[in-house]
Chains A and B, each alone.
Chain A
Amino acid sequence: MKLFNYISLLFLVITFIGCEKVIDVDLDTAPPKLVVEASINWDKNTTGNEQFIKLTTTTDYFSSSIPNVSGASVFITNSSGTVFNFVEITEPGIYVCNNFEPVINESYTLTIVYNGETFTATEKLLTTPEITRIEQNNEGGILGDEIEVRFFYDDIPNEANYYFQQIDDPYKAIPEFGVLEDRFFQNNELFGLYFSENLKSGDELIFTLNGITQNHYNYLNILLSQAGGGSGGPFSTPTSTIRGNVVNQTNFNNFALGYFRLSERAKIAYVIE
């Protein structure tokens, strides 16, 4: 999501007079760490029974493949003790569940047993607003020469809310992400904003929205800034290991990366007019 990032704009000015080149850099590689991608998404108007959890490890930065983690035992327990098992069926590292029962505000605990160590995380399933309307502006973007699309939704009233937004652009191999807090928009209509010079009539954009916790907002904020190339340049903030909410109960210091979160998901496809 091209959610406005002022700092990157500053950088843009510098980048325009400068010159960028892809170079080779020798990097060290730290020993692999478990990475947990446990994003439980309950699509609106579905049962939400089918869910998956992905387990991988860290690897060499320039490696083209990400190692999967097979043979782990993965399950989620709700507050009344019901266990939902996630099993590796076809794809290695992908653990699937077909009987998950999503309930708004219910608390869930994720447990992963891997290599004799037990990892856990506990979260609540959050609600997500509906996408109410979409606007297209053919004279959009900063310079007014790009196609710009806005996806509107209403802020959940009278509480501090955090949102995670995703855009899938047909011209991009990876999705664009953004996070938003309602701090300056409390109780108002919010929007996800996207513009690109490549877009033309007939192209399909997919917009996805999730309500997230403040903790996860902070987590994603750091993660997206480090992943999105925000880790270099004069206006970048210092980097660090991004700690999520998955805790190693057996060997505390051998923590896992990644995050366990649950929420409703609003998803809408839009064809550029």
Chain B
Amino acid sequence: MCKISEKKSSILLKKLLMSLNKILLTTLMTFGLIFSSTAQEKFTLSGTITDQKNNETLIGVTIIITELKTGTTTNEYGFYSISLPKGTYTLEISYIGFETITSTIVLEKNIRKNISLKESQELLKEVIVSDRKVKAEIRKPEMSVNKLTIQEIKQMPVLLGEVDIIKSLLTLPGVTNAGEGQSGFNVRGGSADQNLILLDEATIYNSSHLFGLFSVFNPDAIKDLKLYKGGIPARFGGRLSSVLDIYQKEGNSKDFHMTGGIGLISSRLLAEGPIVKDKASFLVAGRGSYAHLFLPLFNNDNSAYFYDLNTKLSYKLNENNNVFISGYFGRDVFNLNKSFVNTYGNSVLNLRWNHLFDEKLFSNMSFIYSDYYYGLKLDIIGFNWDSGIKNYNFKYDFKHYLSNKIKLTYGNNSIYYDFNPGRIEPSNDNSSINPEQLAKKYAFESAFYVDAEHELSKKITVSYGLRYSMFYRLGEQTLNTYENNQAVIFNPIFQIYESATPTGTISYKKNETIANFDNWEPRLGISYAFNDDQSIKASYNRMTQYLHLISNTQSPTPLDVWAPSDNFLKPQLLDQFAVGYFQNFKNDDYSLEVETYYKNIQDRVDYIDGANLIANEAIERVVLSGKARAYGLEVLFRKNHGQFTGWIAYTLSRSEQQIEGRTPEETGINNGQWYRTGYDKLNDISVVGNYKLDEKWRFGANFSLQTGQPVTFPNGQYEYNGITVPSYSLRNENNLPTYHRLDVSATLTPTSNTGRKWQGEWVFGIYNVYNRMNAASITFQQNKETASNEAIRLSIFGFIPSVTYNFKF
């Protein structure tokens, strides 16, 4: 019974999709591009590529049809599909860190071919025909993408021995963070809230543990990651600057295994294994820091720690259906004598269904719940605070392998948001706080997209896509009205911006639309390959961001709340252009990637002086909107092969913002002049090296040098009420001293590992080898004892040694 109805619905869906295809085809035609139609009969070769050891699907495996010099790659779920004329072909399947295999197929009907790859063993080197190297992508129009394998990430020297995905990304061009110990990351001069961070397709709202010292991703549970800085495919939207797309492992469906590590800051343990051999698997990974991270500060009544838990269940129903349930839960907890208790973190629950309609049409449907919670108890003033954001996300994505020349992706993504800007409660009986729930906000965001990757000729491949996004700010809510619709007014006498006094209120009923927006977001990319080793590419993307992180500090704090767009807080809009040159040389041993970009952002928000953002019921009363721009040059030179591997990354860039007055009378912010953002970095150089001495020892080093963070130094002082006050003029006109640092690491793999189940590994590291006292900030203040003015430099991390023990069994 059930099966029949399933079939029926799948037939219905298929029909629906076919008609959708027709519409899409006509759309594509109107783009002026016609499919290469051939009378020749074509068949499809498709399947899934997995790791032989554990059945883990592999993302981005290259399948080359030697005879036709064409090929494809596996998608995020390890699936590939290619349609070819009838014939006999040689396939070459290669993936970084795995043995390349070749296989001959006779294609006279549609073939389903699942392939499992074997990890390359250095010991058996001589039998490997060729080893796939990391190299620059030449033929695909995909550009402005930073990729790092988990292997590479794990080999880099790190702070306190904590492998950190986001910190590793900072060694690649175009990615920075405001400074040491600051949360979030900045991509191509964009703010931290402009990054879409996806874990198994679910949005993560805060990527930092401990206010930015570490990131929330447990490296053991991560399979693959990719950071899109530009040329962002149409399937992504909702943030302006980047997409960090992270996939968790599915879990070993062959054998039970455990992986773990013991470090100075935290310990990790991961368990994975089959539930039904070769069909169903589970993965559970936990990571926890020790309870007293900052020993000098904390005694027994105090604690500061973080933990996170990653879980996944994968079930292969049959050849055409896979189901995944994945979850993430992470928290940071600070407890000072119970008088200050701070808890925050993300949680995610995700159900996905992969379905293959036929050998050419792959689909994934996801139901995702994710939230970010922030809680603060300040018992000393009797105050308890909760805030957060919840979202319910539905995604239906299709990958349609039309021919070996053209691949379509299309789908829908709909998200319902529930914002809690804050609830205040008295924390004890003596408290004089009045309880208050700041009005909750609701919104619905939906987008339809279609993206095509189209090989026009041997030399030219284009990608073109369009995303149509819609955003509805919904009731129930009561909103203020203002005279002339201005929530911020300018006081021409004192030359300051002030919050306007509301003239009245409007009440909206549940689910009533308060404001709505829609935008067409075109995405274009083109690559021109001179030959197999050299190409130039160009891309353009427009992005819309309907959510704003209300934050007025140099780097975001966990307390910052997200707010939806409305009549006052307009969606941010970005246009980005990028061109690049890509080359692999010396048999792919080396690669060079050079890119330059220009970004223009409309409706970038900034805040009036003295804006109080915490528990602000009417954010519109402190917000001004303006524009932002960023431009730069990025160079990445890599050595991809041999005992010594590594890269040099250099970025020359600028990131600026301007908030002009709305009328000639108004001053705007910073007198209406362009000012550098707090994460502007003119020069940024990273050198990363990895040297494998022998089977026992491996060494890593990482050097980084960057222009100091833009800051504002005082240009005078004055006395007021018995204290001295620094006087400031224009914003971010100064810089902290140049930042530089060298880190090294050594990994010892004991020879006793050979032939036994327990595999151990010691990682020794030194962060900031020459103990450079880099300035995280310079503060100008009056000494409380001597009353004289001082400049105080804060350095966070000097020379820090670490040791970590990792194991697998």
Contacts and interface: CB of A to CB of B under 8 A. Distances in A.
Interface of A: 4, 6-7, 9-10, 13-25, 27-30, 32-33, 35, 37, 39, 54, 56-64, 66, 140-144, 166, 171-175, 177, 183-186, 188-191, 193, 215, 218-219, 221-223, 226-229, 231-245, 247, 255, 257-259
B726 A61 contact: yes
Contact of B495 (A13, A185, A255): A255
A57 B724 CA distance: 12
A266 B302 CA distance: 37
24 contacts: A4-B383, A6-B614, A13-B304, A17-B797, A23-B778, A25-B791, A29-B715, A35-B719, A61-B714, A66-B717, A142-B339, A142-B380, A144-B337, A175-B721, A188-B434, A227-B723, A227-B725, A229-B781, A231-B779, A232-B777, A232-B794, A233-B794, A238-B552, A240-B731
Nearest to A155: B432
A138 to B, nearest CB: 14
A258 B724 CA distance: 12
Given A58-B727, A227-B724, A13 B334 contact: yes
A10 B725 contact: no
Q: What 3 A-B pairs are tightest by C-beta distance, nearest first?
A: A229-B781, A232-B779, A232-B777
Interface size grouping (class) on chain B: 35 or more
Main secondary structure of the interface of B (DSSP, over half): loop
Contacts of A189: 432
A147 to B, nearest CB: 14
B13 interface: no
Given A22-B790, A175-B722, A234 B212 contact: yes
A25 B182 CA distance: 23
Nearest to B493: A247
A143 B337 contact: yes
Interface in B577-615: 609-610, 612, 614-615
Contacts of B714: 27, 61, 231, 239
Interface in B644-680: 669-670, 678
A144 B776 contact: no
Nearest to B212: A234
Nearest to A221: B610
A231 B785 contact: no
A55 B719 CA distance: 9
Nearest to B435: A184
Contacts of B181: 14, 18, 234
B427 to A, nearest CB: 12
Main secondary structure of the interface of A (DSSP, over half): loop
B555 A234 contact: yes
A255 to B, nearest CB: 7
A27 B727 CA distance: 12
Contacts of A59: 716-718
Interface stretch (B1-9, B19-27, B69-77, B293-301): B293-301
Tell me which of A39, A189, A229 has the highest count of chain B C-beta atoms within 10 A of its own C-beta: A229
A62 B711 contact: no
A236 B779 CA distance: 10
B111 interface: no
Interface in B375-390: 376, 378, 380-381, 383
Nearest to A219: B610
Nearest to B182: A234
Contact of B555 (A141, A235, A255): A235
A62 B789 contact: yes
B376 A6 contact: yes
B556 to A, nearest CB: 9
Given A172-B785, A221-B610, A239-B728, 19 more contacts: A4-B378, A7-B557, A14-B776, A17-B796, A18-B776, A18-B797, A19-B795, A22-B792, A22-B793, A25-B713, A172-B784, A184-B436, A229-B780, A229-B781, A232-B780, A238-B731, A240-B670, A240-B728, A257-B727
A30 B380 contact: no
A22 B609 contact: no
B489 interface: no
A66 B502 CA distance: 42
Nearest to B436: A184
B712 interface: yes
B433 A37 contact: no
Contacts of B498: 215, 218
A61 B779 CA distance: 13
A20 B381 CA distance: 29
A102 to B, nearest CB: 19
B738 interface: no
B496 interface: yes
B36 interface: no
B721 A60 contact: no
Contacts of B781: 227-229, 231
A231 B712 contact: yes
Nearest to B293: A17
Contact of A223 (B383, B434, B720, B798): B720
Contacts of B784: 172-174
B803 to A, nearest CB: 19
Contacts of A28: 713, 715
A63 B776 CA distance: 25
Contacts of A184: 383, 424, 433-434, 436, 615
Contact of A234 (B554, B670, B778, B783): B554
B754 interface: no
B336 interface: yes
B792 A173 contact: no
A56 B721 CA distance: 12
A188 B430 CA distance: 11
B560 to A, nearest CB: 10
A233 to B, nearest CB: 4
B91 to A, nearest CB: 52
A192 to B, nearest CB: 11
Given A238-B552, A244-B494, A61 B780 contact: yes
A14 B779 contact: no
B729 A236 contact: no
Contacts of A14: 181, 211, 776, 794, 796
Given A13-B211, A238-B552, A240-B728, A229 B718 contact: no
Nearest to B779: A232
Contacts of B559: 6
A16 B294 contact: yes
Contacts of A9: 340
Nearest to B785: A173
A61 B711 contact: no
Contacts of B555: 234-235
Contacts of A226: 725-726, 728
B773 interface: yes
Contacts of B183: 234
Nearest to A35: B718
Contact of B716 (A22, A30, A240): A30
A222 B787 CA distance: 20
B718 A56 contact: yes
B432 A58 contact: no
Given A29-B715, A35-B719, A174 B553 contact: no
Contact of A241 (B340, B553, B724, B727): B727
A142 B779 CA distance: 24
Given A18-B794, A218-B610, A234 B723 contact: no
Tell me which of B493, B719, B728 has the highest count of chain A C-beta atoms within 10 A of its own C-beta: B719
B423 to A, nearest CB: 12
Nearest to A166: B721
A23 B716 CA distance: 17
A37 B721 CA distance: 7
B179 A239 contact: no
Nearest to A22: B790
A258 B720 contact: yes
Given A142-B337, A172-B784, A35 B728 contact: no
B38 interface: no
A227 B795 CA distance: 21
Tell me which of A17, A24, A142, A245 has the highest count of chain B C-beta atoms within 10 A of its own C-beta: A17
A56 B380 CA distance: 39
